[in-house]
Amino acid sequence: MSFMPHEAISVFDIFKIGVGPSSSHTLGPWRAAQQFLSDIVDRGDLESVCSVRVLLYGSLAKTGIGHGTDIAVQLGLSGEDPVTFQLDLLHARMNDILVMKKILLHGRHEIDFDPKEDIEFFITESLPFHPNALTFLAEFQNGEQIAETYYSIGGGFVVKEGAANASHTSVQLPFPINTAEDILHWCRTTGLSIAEAVLENEGSWRKEADTKQGLLNIWCVMKESMYKGCHQEGNLPGGLNVRRRAAALNKKLLNGADYHDYESWISAIRNGGRDFRYILDWVSCFALAVNEENASFGRVVTAPTNGAAGVIPAVLQYFMVFNDGDTEEKIIHFLLTASEIGSLFKKGATISAAMGGCQAEIGVSSAMAAAGLTEASGGTQRQALMAAEIAMEHHLGMTCDPIGGLVQIPCIERNTMGAIKAITASQLALQSAPDYAKVSLDAVIQTMWDTAKDMNFKYKETSEGGLAVNIPLGLKEC
Ligand code: SF4
């Protein structure tokens, strides 16, 4: 097992309530803008700011428009929070800034700001630390100028230049975990399940009851995104004219059954039986629903990223509706175990598509869901880790090549695949003896990282390779 230094990552760092379509290109830049402004507010200098400019580099510049990076930084500068911002105001707010050429910094100090001039996309430049970089420049009435650079390192995590170790918190956890082997060590010596060990660690940040309630809130947002996505028709924004499919599939599968809210919807789904293809269709429907919401600037849970936000809700909903997962205790268990797998990948490899391609997004979410489903279904800790290993093993090398820089094709369908692979991986692990496994989770994490480093930049969220260049779909102005 490995020892310190140890990066302490909470379950609420992995599962964050955010706004689509991208955790690295939307949520991260939004948080960076909030941090930049909050430093100025803390200095007491907000009212003396006379201009702000934003420079986007690398992947943020190349696919920033499709991923809403420009929108996110404007909302962050306006003092809005992604958890609470009223999303139906988004287009009106953007239009106001565009037409008036003014922005209300932190909701209280108005300056001139023309998004077309003051947000610059440096598509041929990258900063060395990470492909997702952005710099904020501010000028004050006394002539002082400041420039702060932030890196959006995946999953909504943000690092400020000069504080690259900010994500290494000083919290001392009872069970420090850097590798899957560490998890097994603590589980063996304490007799705890993975979820129980994680819950103990979360106690370093807050009371157990608050952790449990926070996880139920996360599940609530996941359920809302599924329900909403299953009842929205039409085309997705962005110009590709991708038709939303979840609502039509929902209607077809329910075959006229009556329901009026989330609970009666779940009863109606259960009443349809347990035929294999019926369940398969529902798993796809749940995943499509979340990611169609994500692609429409809807509210979703980053799990561990936005592009892959549908995998975990779809698998947990499958567990809840079609298996015996319909208790708060099991939902909490699932999420705690899944989050620790996400942390392992963040520490040992990456959860950023700009660093590792889609294996880092859909692959990681599938591994997380597989482990959560396995342990919450009664599997052992070793079976849960085995399930995560199997799920990632069959995502290795998967590239990121979103058409038009939008998180739509292949992203939305890819969540259905990640969910089904997670269920298959879990089932395989539950039917297997981990003693005979040849590949450990730690080995597959290392392999994913090696593969990420070897992957051509064209397949790392740049939309310069793969489907993004081989599908002749012209983007209209959006
Ligand atoms: S291809 Fe995968 S990694 Fe890339 S944007 Fe889509 S979901 Fe994210």
Dist CA 212 CA 418 (whole Å): 26
Residue 335: C-alpha distances to residues 17, 233, 275 (Å): 14, 30, 27
pLDDT of residue 325: 86
Short-list 57, 56, 59, 58, CA closest to 71: 56
Sorting pLDDT into bands at 50, 70 and 90, what band is 66? confident
Report, as an integer, the average pLDDT of 121-140.
Answer: 94
Give the burial class of 227: count Cβ atoms within 10 A of its Cβ; 0-12 exposed, 13-18 middle, 19 or more buried. Answer: middle
CA-nearest residue for atom 6, ligand 1, is 411
Contact 76, 32 (CB under 8 A): yes
User: What is the token pair recorded at 458?
Assistant: 């064209």
Cα(141) to centroid(ligand 1), Å: 42
Residue ID of nearest Cα to ligand 1 atom 2: 358
Q: CB 70: neighbour CB atoms within 10 A?
A: 21
Which atom of ligand 1 is the closest one to the Cα of 361?
3
pLDDT at 6 over 90: no
Q: What is the pLDDT of residue 471?
A: 84
The predicted structure's pLDDT at residue 473: 66
Query: What H or E segment, with its residue span, contains residue 350?
Result: none
Q: Are the C-beta atoms of residues 338 and 363 closer than 8 Å to each other? A: no
Band of pLDDT at residue 472, cut at 50, 70 and 90? low
**3 state SS of 134:** strand
Which residue's entry shows tokens 């169609």? 292
Q: Which two tokens stand for residue 99?
A: 């037409």
Number of other residues whose CB lies within 10 A of the CB of residue 267: 12
**Going along 249-305, which residue ranges are E strands?**
299-302
Mean pLDDT, residues 316-333 taken together: 96
Percentage of residues of the chain with pLDDT beyond 90: 90
pLDDT of residue 462: 85
From CA 462, how far away is CA 471, in angstroms rounded?
Answer: 15
Mean per-residue pLDDT of the chain: 94
Q: How far is CA 309 from each of CA 75, 142, 227, 296, 304, rounded to the nearest angstrom?
A: 22, 45, 14, 13, 7
Mutate which of 361, 455, 457 for ligand 1 pocket (most atoms within 8 A of beta carbon) = 361
What pLDDT digit, counting tens, does each position of 188-216 carry?
A: 999 999 999 999 999 999 999 999 999 99
Q: What is the distance between the alpha carbons of residues 342 and 352, in angstroms, rounded to a whole number?
A: 12
**pLDDT number for residue 3:** 44
Whose alpha carbon is nearest atom 8 of ligand 1? 307
Gap from CA of 311 to ligand 1 centroid (Å): 13
> Which of 3-12, 24-33, 149-158, 237-246 comes out lowest in average pLDDT?
3-12
Which residue among 25, 69, 351, 414 is best mutated to probe the pocket of ligand 1, counting the most ligand atoms within 8 A of its Cβ?
414
pLDDT bin (cut points 50, 70, 90) of residue 168 is very low
Say what the pLDDT of residue 169 is: 56
Tell me if 76 CB under 6 Å of ligand 1.
no
Q: Looking at the predicted structure, is the pLDDT value of residue 164 above 80?
A: no
Distance of CA 265 to the CA centre of its chain: 26
pLDDT at 218: 98
Give yes or no for a contact between 200 and 176, defined as CB atoms under 8 angstroms apart: no
Which amino acid is residue 392, in one-letter code?
M
Question: What's the whole-number mean pLDDT along residues 438-457?
Answer: 97
Query: What is the CB-side half-sphere exposure of residue 471 using CA atoms within 13 A?
Result: 14
Q: Is the pLDDT of residue 175 over 70?
A: yes
Is the CB of 287 within 6 Å of ligand 1?
A: no
Give the whole-number percent of the chain exceeding pLDDT 70.
96
Question: Is the Cβ atom of 418 under 6 angstroms away from ligand 1?
Answer: no
- CA–CA distance, 383 with 445 (Å, rounded to integer): 16
Can you list the alpha helix ranges (DSSP code H) found in 43-87? 58-62, 69-77
Q: Which of 25, 400, 451 to mutate to test the pocket of ligand 1 (most atoms within 8 A of CB)?
A: 400
Distance (angstroms) between ligand 1 centre and the Cα of 88 equals 25
Length of the chain: 478
Angle subtended at Cα 25 by Cα 465 and Cα 170, rounded to the nearest 5 degrees: 120
On the question of pLDDT at 474 being above 70, the answer is no
Does residue 308 have a pLDDT over 70?
yes
Beta strands 132-140 and 49-57 are antiparallel
Q: Give the three-class secondary structure for 218.
A: helix
Write out pLDDT tens, residues 205-263.
999 999 999 999 999 999 999 999 999 999 999 999 999 999 999 999 999 999 999 99
Is 290's C-beta closer than 6 angstroms to any atom of ligand 1? no
The token pair that represents 161 in the structure block = 């230049």
How many Å apart are CA 478 and CA 474, to the nearest integer? 12
Residue 167 is predicted with a pLDDT of 47
